[in-house]
Amino acid sequence: MNYRRFGDKYVVRLEKGEELVESIKELAKKEDIMLGRVSGMGAVNRVEVSIYGVETKEYFKKEINEEMEIVSLEGNIARKDGEPILHLHTSVACEDCRVFGGHLHSADISVTAEIIIDVIDGELTKEFDEETGANLFKFD
């Protein structure tokens, strides 16, 4: 991973073989990013995405193993129990232009990923919500 900070933004380049979600978490921890917005694009050869089942309170996961382009990566960084927590969604396009998307659990970079992190001045934590079964922003 290579990156540079420009004011309140980080410009990040991930390399072939790196895992996207863990790399962003590592950067957030290293740079003490408490709150931020993530966007990006790139190329991957494995992703694990899911859709959240509201009634079951479980993620329905799908792993895709083929060459794909990240056509959209959006999400946020916050903190839970003092550690960075990411909430990322993605859309990926396969060779035949089929598109898969959902909540991003992991992605292996096959060429590169170019990611922008906009740091938000402030701090929000996430807390587990029993009713929804999800980690939600906590506003004091």
At 44 the pLDDT is: 98
Return the structure tokens found at 112: 């590169």
Single-letter code of the amino acid located at 132? T
Q: pLDDT per residue over 7-38, tens digit each?
A: 999 999 999 999 999 999 999 999 999 999 99
Single-letter code of the amino acid located at 10? Y
Q: Measured in whole angstroms, how far is the alpha carbon of residue 5 from the centre of its chain? A: 19
Q: pLDDT per residue over 48-92, tens digit each?
A: 999 999 999 999 999 999 999 999 999 999 999 999 999 999 999
pLDDT at 140 over 80: no
Locate the DSSP E strands across the chain.
Answer: 2-6, 9-15, 36-53, 58-64, 68-80, 83-94, 99-119, 125-129, 134-138
Categorize the per-residue pLDDT at 98 as very low, low, confident or very high, splitting at 50, 70 and 90. very high
